[in-house]
Chains A and B, each alone.
Chain A
Amino acid sequence: MRKPWLWAAIALQVLVLAVMMGINLFTLQTGVAVRLKTEPRDPFDPLRGAYVHLQPAIARLDAALFPGDVRTLNSGDTVYVTLHPDQPYWRAVAVGRERPRFWPDEVAVRAQVQYVDTYQDRGIFLRYSFQDFFTTDERARKLELQRTGVDMEIRVDRFGNGALEKVYVDGEPLNWQ
């Protein structure tokens, strides 16, 4: 038996990998460029290797930006953050469960709720899909020590997907393959 279905299963695996790349490339090609202020952190993941966790300023939002009772938000919930262009960085102006209607120069980017701090009222903590920058150990450590002067430029497409396009250190873009 030559197992013809085996090639269908392998094609499925190749399709999975292609879709992973395709979604990211689509966002980079068609998305709006958004610049954000960040603070880098340097964790290590045995499965994923050395990387820098880029914490954008929009990772923590004021609870007042959410219409309704913020205690209804649970960890793992998907929300959309509306970003408005400002100088030098874009800022968050609203957050909600549905993709919002927004002004022509605004964008809405998808995020996942990590937790909501109602005790000390520190706001809504979010996680985005573009926060991890994979690099060498040495560069990751340097970036972590940098702490300030690190910015990221992302692309946000019409579906709310965000993709990391550039990382700037003191205004200069980092080179990566």
Chain B
Amino acid sequence: MAEKDVPQYRRGWLEQLPGELTRWEQSGLISNEQAGAIRALYPVPERSGSRLTRFLTVMAVILIGLGVVLFVAAHWEEMDRWLKVTLLLVAMLGSYGSGWWLSYGRGSYPKVGRALILLGCLIYGADIFLIAQIFHLSAHWPNGLLLWSLGTLAVAWAAHDELPLTLAALLLGIWTASEQGDFGRLNGWYLLLNFGLVLPLVWRLRSRWALGLTALGTGLWWLVGTLEAQGHDVPGVAMVAVGLLGLALWGIAVYGAGAAMPRWGSLSLRLAGSLMALIGLFVLSFGDLLKNANLREAPLSVWPRLAAGVLLALALAGAYLLARRQRWEGIGAALVALAASSIWFLPGNAWAALPTNLALLAAIGGLLIVGIRTRSSLLLAAALVGFGADVIGRYFDFFWATLDRSLFFLAGGLLLLAVGALLERQGRRLARDWEVMEDA
């Protein structure tokens, strides 16, 4: 909740509430779950100083973590094996111990304490790989990432803390990309861990960063899995097109889910969804790719087609959720999903890219409008980056050699003029709102 939205007469009460809730919990008046529910109902508006403190402490622990690892590495060869192990364990336990004491023992510096617990998780990961070095262990190396993420997830659950949860979500994504990319495994375990262990905690902690990373990780799982599904019997370029289409459809589904989410998760899902949709649509907008993929004729088994059908259904469900809030946005998302899916039915020539090009432009335009309407600088940035990439991509795309390229640039320029006019019309109100947000 932005500070400007908090009524003046409630500000002091909101800031007193957390301390009172702790007192009520300790005296048994309310349970831990009830306290959490009340805190979620009345979030304290974060002051800019508080955000700065959190940023500084997280940066500090990352620097300390790197410093520890580099210090040990610099004196590695001189140290006895057991001294190295002792040092690593002391660093990890010391970080956890001091973090626990500052957060929950004495409780006087909770933010610094939580950052130290995050540092403990980082050192745990470093310990896994350094112990493998010390003992010359060369097992299946992605297992090290899996152990790191599971251990961090255990800390996240035990401490009910967003920081290790976000780290665990990131590590699981890297793990699945390694397993699938380097070893060609489908890795269904990733979905099980994400939906079984990560998402329930994301929901309880209202962790928007972990939510976004989980959505992105699932899209990555799909994309790498389809790319690795190429083989002697499976046409490579066709699977690339299926992978990108699936990524775009998943992105639309996630974006739509953002509309149904409470405020804490809405922006992160919209952002993650729009990134995936834009990336998928952008690569599919190249005529040469679709000409070579020729999905209409490609000898694909039923499984990729079935999977793409399921993703289209999810994308349309997402569009429906959007339409319940803002009709034009939902209809636009549905049309983008259907236009992208048309590549299954179009002949294998460069014109098959026309619907995906239109879908990409519509997605960028829609994102621009939503970004302006909701005053979200992140969505606006995503739209502008997407537009810039599209312009550059079209310049190099041989497909557009069949048309006068100048027509495309004229169209792009006219679109920007229209956006500029819209911005100017909103201009004074927008500038005042941006200033308020910067001051906050």
Contacts and interface: CB of A to CB of B under 8 A. Distances in A.
A24 B137 contact: yes
A134 B96 contact: no
Given A1-B32, A3-B100, A20-B137, A10 B93 contact: yes
Given A13-B124, A17-B131, A177-B77, A129 B138 contact: yes
Contacts of B128: 16-17, 20
A120 to B, nearest CB: 16
Interface in A131-161: 131-134, 136
B81 interface: yes
Interface residues of B, number: 47
B183 interface: yes
B77 A1 contact: no
B104 interface: yes
A177 B84 contact: yes
Contacts of A177: 77, 79-81, 84, 134
B329 interface: no
Contact of A1 (B25, B89, B131): B25
Main secondary structure of the interface of B (DSSP, over half): helix
A159 B209 CA distance: 43
A134 to B, nearest CB: 4
A177 B87 CA distance: 15
A130 B132 CA distance: 11
A164 interface: yes
Contact of B85 (A10, A21, A136): A21
B132 A9 contact: no
A48 B12 CA distance: 51
Interface in B243-297: none
B345 interface: no
Residue among A1, A14, A129 having the largest count of chain B Cβ atoms under 10 Å: A1
A73 B76 CA distance: 40
B110 to A, nearest CB: 11
Contacts of B138: 128-132
Main secondary structure of the interface of A (DSSP, over half): mixed
A12 B127 contact: no
Contact of A48 (B100, B133, B154): B133
A33 B157 CA distance: 44
Interface string B121-147: 000100111011111111111001001
B120 interface: yes
A35 to B, nearest CB: 16
B105 interface: yes
B104 A133 contact: no
Nearest to A13: B151
Nearest to A28: B135
Interface residues of A, number: 35
Contact of B133 (A7, A49, A75, A163): A49
B238 interface: no
Contact of B135 (A8, A14, A21, A49): A21
Nearest to B97: A10
A49 B73 contact: yes
A160 B19 CA distance: 58
Interface in B83-124: 84-85, 89, 92-93, 96, 100, 103-105, 117, 120, 124
Contacts of A5: 157-158
Interface string A5-40: 111111011101100110010000000000000000
Nearest to B120: A10
Contacts of A131: 138
Contacts of B25: 1
B155 A6 contact: yes
Given A17-B127, A21-B85, A3 B159 contact: yes
A130 B136 contact: yes
Contacts of A51: 133
A13 B159 CA distance: 14
Interface string B146-175: 010001001101111000000000000000
Q: Which 7 A-B pairs have the closest CB atoms?
A: A132-B138, A9-B154, A5-B158, A9-B158, A134-B133, A6-B158, A13-B151
26 contacts: A1-B32, A1-B104, A2-B105, A6-B104, A6-B155, A6-B159, A9-B154, A16-B147, A17-B89, A17-B124, A24-B135, A24-B137, A47-B144, A48-B129, A48-B141, A49-B133, A75-B183, A76-B185, A128-B138, A134-B133, A134-B136, A163-B135, A163-B136, A164-B136, A177-B79, A177-B80
